[in-house]
Amino acid sequence: MEKWEQQLDQEVNGNLPKVVEQQIEETLNTLPNKKASRKKWMYSVAAAVVATGIVVSSSSVSTTIADSLQSVPVIGSVMEKVGGLGEKNGQQKGLTVTAGEEVDIGDQTIIFTETLYDGNSIYISYLNTSTDLNKQVLSGVPTVMIDGEPLRNYGIGAGGQKLKEGVYGETMSIRTSEELPDEFLLTLGGETNGSQWQVDLPVEKKGAETVIPLNESFSNEDNHLRYSTLSFTSTSTRVQFQLITPEDSKLIQNGQHFDIQVEDGNGRVLRGIGASSRSALLHDGTVQGQYTFDLEPYGEDLPESITIKPYLMKIPLENEDVEPVVFTTKKWKGEPITLSQGEMGNLTVQSVERIEGDVTITYSVDGEDEAMQSSTFWIEDSENNMYKENRVERRVEGNTFKQTFYDFPAEEDIYLHSTEMDSHHYISNFEVTIDIQ
Amino acid sequence: MNIIKEVKRARKGNKASFEMLIREYKTTMYRVSKTILKQEEDCADAIQEAILKAFHSIKTLKEPKYFKTWLLRIVMNECYTIIRKQKKVIQLDQVPESSSLEEGYSKIETKELLYSLSEEDASVLKLFYIKDLPIKEIAEVMDIPENTLKTKLRRAKKRAQLQVKEEGLQWKSGNNS
């Protein structure tokens, strides 16, 4: 490279100036939450990884202040209140470790309350005393250290919801393929506006883990699927497989959503709580994808069998004519009421309990995919403000679920919402039933 | 991050995915904007407008794999819009940017070199040297075939080399400020 080229190379690869970075963050914070108006909306509910971009404005080094937990007007476990199905289950089994670490960030405080590690994922819960969830949530991509050593390969997901005015409860999950010790000090750190923040959290592996190697292969035309493992921990039921397809396979084309439905021997369809995949184009033109699906965990007793049913869901392309979503909306009047979910089935709201701003709704679903059906539900007030911050509904028993929406206006009527959905297109050649016991 | 997956989610209205994508490409957005605009504040404005436009029109993006180049093209369009507005006030093209000694001699020389080239040559060269922006993507951003871009690039480099020789620009070994 000639001298002038070296100089040009340096000049065009300048770092992002603060003024630009700040304006980008401010712009992102002003983006409205979109309320989907098309049929595609429903496809995100199946096994989506909960991930929220998070920004910290400034920070200072943390200090241990266990007392501050008492000063926050939230009673009970944050992990239990706002965590996903996995975190809730882990917390209920007493597998969490109290953290009690506090970080002051600008005019807000982040209080780390609990950690949970089951061998699959690390979960961290925290309270955030900001006035705006989008602007002040902690995460982004913090650096992660295990016993002082940097963790190199990891993914982070985060989500949460408003608990009370000025108090948000959130959880963060860290997944890694690296081997971790059974007990360690987890250090999270970051830099905001030039100032460093860091917090040390105790983590301890708890709970039983059952891993079942599968090694079963199936073919459908030129597509080949090999199930690798099925594992059960306190926070998830995990299915892992490899899918090898031609580059132009229908399974991986734009406009198709490849997913799995997992059902146990008792007919219970498991709710997806997270999914990840990575794929590579091989020299021979085939695409090799590694898929991991996390679904709701089991309690003490594992099921006798698990059936995995891969399916394709058509997602209309942008240039295709799309039928508008048929929303089903009914006002709660104190009596059980049924919402149609189209070909998929029905959702019936059994009861609504209101305690101040907390609205807890018990409902049952009846149909083809109770996991998808139960998650396609939200409430609105009379001004069409949507309440769907709660991340996952809780299974009460069988096909009955319970979901709590926080900070709903006390005087407002409750409008119950769902949508009509088409049936799945199952790929029967890929279906497998695994005997567990 | 699985870009394709996040783009698909963003198209469905997932704001968090859209934010992640923007954060992934923010530095490239800035570097591309800086090839057209001189002031950081203008770059920030162009990127802001581009983010808003991308957010509201991501549904029109047919192929998720083109998200990056689609986004960068929006950034470039916003940069040109800003230039057009500025030209209404003053014909900046006619006014060589004043140099400051604080910038170091080499930077001034690079600017002189680029100014001596045609707008297209300078633009191609600047984009070419941006890291994480391969030729294939530059061609997509500029909406020209890859081979055409390579030809333009060869010519632009040759002209730059000639300028260096003809103008006798002496390249210092770094920033001398």
Which comes out higher in pLDDT, residue B27 or A193? B27
The CA distance from B33 to B77, in Å, is: 9
Among A20, A24, A34, whose Cβ lies nearest the Cβ of B40?
A20
- Classified as helix, coil or strand, A208 is coil
Does A276 sit within 8 Å of B2, measured CB to CB?
yes
Percent of chain B with pLDDT over 90: 17
Other Cβ atoms within 10 Å of A412 Cβ, number: 14
Name which of B12, B19, B64 is nearest A53 (Cβ-Cβ): B19
B-chain residues near A19 (CB < 8 A): 40-41, 44
Q: Do B2 and A40 lie within an 8 Å CB cutoff?
A: no
The reply to whether residue B169 touches residue A4, judged by beta carbons under 8 angstroms, is yes
The Cα A225–Cα A203 span in angstroms is 36
**φ/ψ of residue A148, rounded to 5:** 85, -5
- Mean pLDDT of the A284-304 span: 85
pLDDT digits (tens, 9 = 90+) for A401-420: 988 887 788 888 999 999 88
With residue B142 as reference, give the H or E element that holds it: helix B135-142
* DSSP label of B14: -
Cβ separation B164–A2 shorter than 8 A: yes
Q: What's residue B163's pLDDT?
A: 72
pLDDT at A323: 60
- Determine, for residues B15 and A15 on separate chains, whether the beta-carbon distance falls below 8 Å: no
Structure-model confidence comparison of residues B95 and B156, the more confident one: B156
Band the pLDDT of A184: cuts 50, 70, 90.
very high
Q: Do B110 and A4 touch (CB under 8 A)?
A: yes
Nearest Cα neighbor of A57 from A4, A108, A15, A19 is: A108
User: Is pTM, for the whole model, over 0.90?
Assistant: no
What are the start-end ranges of the E strands in A315-391?
Answer: 327-331, 337-340, 345-355, 358-367, 378-380, 386-387
Q: Residue A131's pLDDT is what?
A: 52
Residue B154 C-alpha, separation from nearest chain A C-alpha, in angstroms:
13
Q: What is the pLDDT of residue A49?
A: 25
The CA distances from residue A125 to A76, A138, B36, in Å, are 12, 11, 45
Residue with the two structure tokens 């991050």? B1
Which of A262, A293, A310 lies closest to A120, judged by CA? A293
Bridge partners, residue A189, by sequence: A143, A198
Mean pLDDT taken over chain B: 77
Q: Is the pLDDT of residue B96 over 60?
A: no
Chain A residues closer than 8 Å to B107 by CB: 7, 11
Distance from CA of B7 to the nearest CA of A (A): 11
Residue-level pLDDT at A52? 24
Beta bridge partners of A101: A64, A112
**Residue among A11, A13, A28 whose CB faces B110 most closely:** A11
Report the pLDDT averaged over residues A84-98. 84
Min Cα–Cα distance to chain A from B88, Å: 24
Interface test with A, best of B3, B11, B23 (most A CBs within 10 A): B23
Mean pLDDT of A6-19: 85
Q: Which residues of B touch A276 (CB under 8 A)?
A: 2
Measure the CA–CA gap between A44 and A29, rounded to whole angstroms. Answer: 22
Q: Which residues contact B170 (CB under 8 A, 6 or more apart)?
A: B109
Specify the pLDDT at position A105: 66
CA distance A315 to A42: 10
Between CA B113 and CA B108 the distance in angstroms is 9
pLDDT band at A432 (very low <50, low <70, confident <90, very high): very high
In which element (H, E) is residue A403 found? strand A400-405
The answer on pLDDT for A279 being more than 60 is yes
Is it the case that residue A5 has pLDDT exceeding 90?
no
pLDDT digits (tens, 9 = 90+) for A325-378: 678 889 999 999 999 998 899 999 999 999 888 899 999 999 988 888 888 888
Tell me if A48 and B9 make a contact (CB, 8 A cut-off).
Answer: yes
A9, A23, A33 ranked by CB distance to B129: nearest: A9
CA distance B93 to B91: 5
User: What does DSSP assign to residue A15?
Assistant: P
Mean pLDDT of all residues in A134-138: 43
**pLDDT tens, B126-147?**
888 888 888 888 888 888 888 8
Percent of chain A scored above 90 by pLDDT? 23
**Contact check, Cβ <8 Å, B16/A20:** no
Kindly list the domain boundaries of chain B, sorted by start residue.
Answer: 3-85, 100-167
Q: How far is B89 from chain A (nearest CA, A)?
A: 24
Could you tell me if B51 and B8 are in contact, meaning their C-beta atoms sit under 8 angstroms apart?
A: no
Cβ–Cβ < 8 Å for A75, A81: no
Contact (CB<8Å) A7/B110: yes
Contact assignment for A20 to B52 by CB distance below 8 Å? no
Give the residue from A204, A361, A369 showing the smallest Cα distance to A272.
A369
Tokens, residue A4: 């002038």
Q: Determine the pLDDT at residue A141.
A: 59
pLDDT confidence bin for A116, thresholds 50/70/90: very high
Chain B: residue nearest A159 by CA?
Answer: B16
**DSSP code of A186?**
E
Query: What's the pLDDT score for residue A107?
Result: 60
Q: What is the CA radius of gyration of chain B?
A: 18
CA distance B77 to chain A (A): 17
Tokens of A73: 């007007």
Architecture of domain B100-167: Orthogonal Bundle (1.10)
Measure A174 CA to nearest chain B CA, in Å: 14
A171 vs A109: which has the higher pLDDT: A171
Strands A167-176 and A256-264, sheet pairing: unpaired
| Distance separating alpha carbons of residues A223 and A429, to the nearest angstrom | 10
Spatial strand order of the sheet with A237-246 comes to A210-220, A223-232, A237-246, A286-295, A272-281
Contact A51 B169 (CB under 8 A): no
Q: How far apart are CA A159 and CA B15, in angstroms?
A: 13
- The per-residue pLDDT for range B68-84, each reduced to its tens digit, is 999 999 999 888 888 88
> Would you identify the CATH topology of the domain B3-85?
Rna Polymerase Sigma Factor; Chain: A (1.10.1740)
What is the CA angle A78-A83-A88, rounded to 5? 90
Q: In chain A, what's the furthest Cα-to-Cα distance?
A: 79
Segment of A260-264, A382-386, B1-5 carrying the highest mean pLDDT? A260-264
Comparing CA positions, the residue from A105, A106, A107, A142 lying closest to residue A124 is A142
Residue A283, both tokens: 């020299």
Contact at CB, B60 and A318, closer than 8 angstroms: yes
Whether the pLDDT of residue B58 is over 90: the answer is no
Inter-axis angle of helices B40-57 and B15-34, nearest 10:
140
Indicate yes or no: CB of B44 within 8 angstroms of CB of A4: no
Q: Which helix (H) or strand (E) holds A201?
A: strand A195-204
Chain B residues with CB-CB distance to A388 below 8 A: none
Residues in chain B: 177
- One-letter amino acid of B12: K
Candidates A315, A174, A415, A59; CA nearest to B11 is A315
Mean pLDDT, residues A380-402 taken together:
77
Residue holding tokens 């860290």? Answer: A174
- The shortest CB-CB distance from B23 to any of A19, A41, A53 is to A53
Instruction: Please check the confidence at residue B88 and state whether its pLDDT lies above 60.
Output: no
Contact B154, A36 (CB under 8 A): no
Contact A62, A56 (CB under 8 A): no
What's the mean pLDDT in B103-116? 59
Location of structure tokens 């992990």: A79
The Cβ-side half-sphere exposure at A137, using a 13 Å CA radius, reads 23
Under DSSP, is residue B13 helix (H, G, I), strand (E, B) or coil? coil
What are the distances in angstroms from CA A404 to CA A391, A401, B136? Answer: 10, 10, 49
Please write the tens of the pLDDT for every residue from A32-88. 765 433 333 333 222 222 222 222 222 222 222 233 333 344 456 788 777 777 888
Q: What pLDDT is attached to residue A156?
A: 74
Does an H or E element contain A382, and which? none
A12, A27, A41: residue with CB nearest B35: A12
pLDDT tens digits along A192-233? 555 567 888 999 998 888 889 998 899 988 899 999 999 998
B171 vs A3, A15, A48: nearest CB = A3
pLDDT at B25 over 70: yes
Cβ contacts of A287 within 8 Å, gap of 6 or more: A244, A245, A246, A247, A249, A252, A279, A280, A281
Q: How many helices (H) and strands (E) does chain B have?
A: 8, 0
Tell me what pLDDT residue B109 has: 63
Contact A350, A336 (CB under 8 A): yes
Q: What angle do CA A169, A171, A177 make, to 5 degrees?
A: 175
Q: Is the pLDDT of residue A150 over 60?
A: yes
User: Using the beta-carbon criterion (under 8 Å), do B2 and A278 form an inter-chain contact?
Assistant: yes
